[in-house]
Structure 1
Amino acid sequence: MIASAFKRAKALPLSGKVGLALVIFWLAVALFGPMLAPYPVGAFVAYEVFDGQSAKHWLGSDYLGRDVLSRLLSGARYTVGLAAAAALLASSTGTALALTAAVGGTKVDEPLSRFMDMLISIPSKIFSLVLVAAFGSSLGLLLLIAAFTYVPGNYRIARALAVNLAQMDYVQVARARGEGRFHIAIAEILPNMIHPLLADFGLRFVFIVLLLSGLSFLGLGVQPPDADLGSLVRENISGLGEGALAILAPAVAIATLTVGVNLLIDAIGFSGKGKGR
């Protein structure tokens, strides 16, 4: 299995290898970063605010004299962890509803699809702002809000795939054998949707990273004393004129994370098309 994954990674184009390296790097930072932080996250360790790079502080200090590298390593866990969990929840919920609509007939498909169309017509950021204002911004609520915001988008793609696959001959044969709807959805339709859904999962992840970072920049995301990458940008905004690393480092982190995922998705899609020819 590891050898097969290595061969697939080796077959990726250069852009895909760059994207894979960035994704692996940020996953490693999210998993092990806080343990490698040189200082406690909230400790005041520098006498100067927005201090430059030095041997003691590789990314300088922030607006309160805290070590930027330590806060970046900690903040990446919230950004990557929340976004990955929310994307997984949104994709699994949307796909389950799409499969239900595909095998449930028009009585299930029509009202469910019209409800999702209504939700997807609302801009995601406005929708999430309303939900945050109504229910708050704890970590659990942020996870649910981010997932709920992007369920309709996943449902729309998954339903289109499932409805097309439901008309295939092998699905008709399964129906003729007397297989139940659950078996048809899980055993016949879902396995043939995996690759497009994985690409969509990557896109949902990027969207949610940007959404959570935007909410944190507005002060509505992860709340102090915790901080994600968006919070680090917001709290150090006064150092923008000085070009402080305290604001540049988390901004570059968000950019490299999202660009890396996009490069990997594009490369996987390209290699998938090549195999099908």
Structure 2
Amino acid sequence: MRYLLLAVPLVVAFAGPLIPYEVARSASFADVGVLGTDFAGRDVWHQVLLGGRTLVVTALLATAGAYLLGGLWGLAAASAPRMLDEVMMRPLDLLMAVPSLLLLLVVAALAPAGALGWIVMLVHLPDIARLVRACALEAGSRPAVEAMRLQGEGWWRITAGFVARSMARVLATDAGTRLTGSLYLIAAASFLGVGVPPDAGDWAVMVDRNRGGLFLNPWAVLAPSLMIVMLAVGLNLTVDRVLKGARHAPR
């Protein structure tokens, strides 16, 4: 069931734009076609097929970029002298003090169009850097690391060979939640009209623009909302299942 929850929105998001569909316009919120029409008289089912790829790809790239940059930042801070560690981490603490959605809206107002993914990556950066730093400090204090240093192992081998592997499971657990958070931030920004045109074929934009006709054609709101919910729930359940299987796997 968990895989079905994840597979359905992913298939719709990536295969939907490839499905040939006859585009036609009708009256707003009319009972025409599979799911009726939206506020602009466009076919809702066609908009659902078109509206997921940008959301999913942006969330994936923003999360991956945040882990790449935040991981390097956290590892560098954990292995740096105390003063440099403080200099690297204190600006991130200031960013963490600002609510994520507020930070996204403020930066989006100053950033050029199309920078939504970069902004979401910036929002996640402080949390990931602090998490990686904390995990690296804990793993670096183990006797195995001290033994590797005494054997003359280099920084790269210790960090990549032992420290990174030690915190892989923690980061994998966080990644599932973080990706869901990226979906939430991008959907919320799109819902508020930040970073996307008001008539864009985006699931979150569809929810916002069609809510005025909820009682005329509820599918214009329910269909994209269901895709977002299925994607978020299915992703979390799948990551949890994979981690549970890895924990019980024979070593």
TM-score, normalized by the shorter chain, greater than 0.5: yes
Deviations 1:203-233 (A, max 9, x none): 1111111111111111113225533211111
Deviations 1:154-207 (A, max 9, x none): 122222211111112222122223333233222221122222212211111111
The corresponding residue for 1:238 is 212
> 1:71 Cα shift?
1.2
Deviations 1:90-147 (A, max 9, x none): 11211111111222232332222222222111100000111011113x23x1110010
2:93 maps to 1:117: yes
Evaluate the alpha carbon distance shift between residue 112 and residue 165 of structure 1 in structure 2; reply closer, same or farther with a 3 A threshold.
same
Q: How does 1:99-178 map onto structure 2 within 5 Å?
A: 99-136=75-112, 138-139=113-114, 141-178=115-152
Q: Distance between the aligned counterparts of 1:209 and 1:94, measured in 2?
A: 19
- Give the share of equivalent positions with the same residue, in percent: 31
2:29 to 22, 25, 50: 50
Counterpart amino acid of 1:96?
A: L
Counterpart amino acid of 2:79?
A: V
2:53 maps to 1:77: yes
Evaluate the alpha carbon distance shift between residue 89 and residue 174 of structure 1 in structure 2; reply closer, same or farther with a 3 A threshold.
same
Counterpart amino acid of 1:185?
A: T
Deviations 1:24-67 (A, max 9, x none): 3332223221001523xxx4x14232123x6xx22221112211
Q: How does 1:200-219 map onto structure 2 within 5 Å?
A: 200-219=174-193
> TM-score of the superposition, structure 1-length normalised?
0.83
Q: Distance between the aligned counterparts of 2:231 and 2:157, measured in 1?
A: 38
1:29 to 1, 4, 12: 12
Evaluate the alpha carbon distance shift between residue 117 and residue 275 of structure 1 in structure 2; reply closer, same or farther with a 3 A threshold.
farther
Which consecutive unaligned segments of at least 5 residues does structure 1 have?
1-17
Counterpart amino acid of 2:36?
A: G
Question: Secondary structure at 1:231's aligned position in 2?
Answer: helix
Q: Distance between the aligned counterparts of 1:29 and 1:250, measured in 2?
A: 11
Counterpart amino acid of 1:88?
A: A
2:14 maps to 1:38: no
Conserved? CA contact 2:29–2:217, under 8 Å: no
Question: Secondary structure at 2:215's aligned position in 1?
Answer: coil
Q: Distance between the aligned counterparts of 2:200 and 2:185, measured in 1?
A: 17
> TM-score of the superposition, structure 2-length normalised?
0.91
> 1:76 Cα shift?
0.4
Evaluate the alpha carbon distance shift between residue 149 and residue 201 of structure 1 in structure 2; reply closer, same or farther with a 3 A threshold.
same
Q: How does 1:189-200 map onto structure 2 within 5 Å?
A: 189-200=163-174
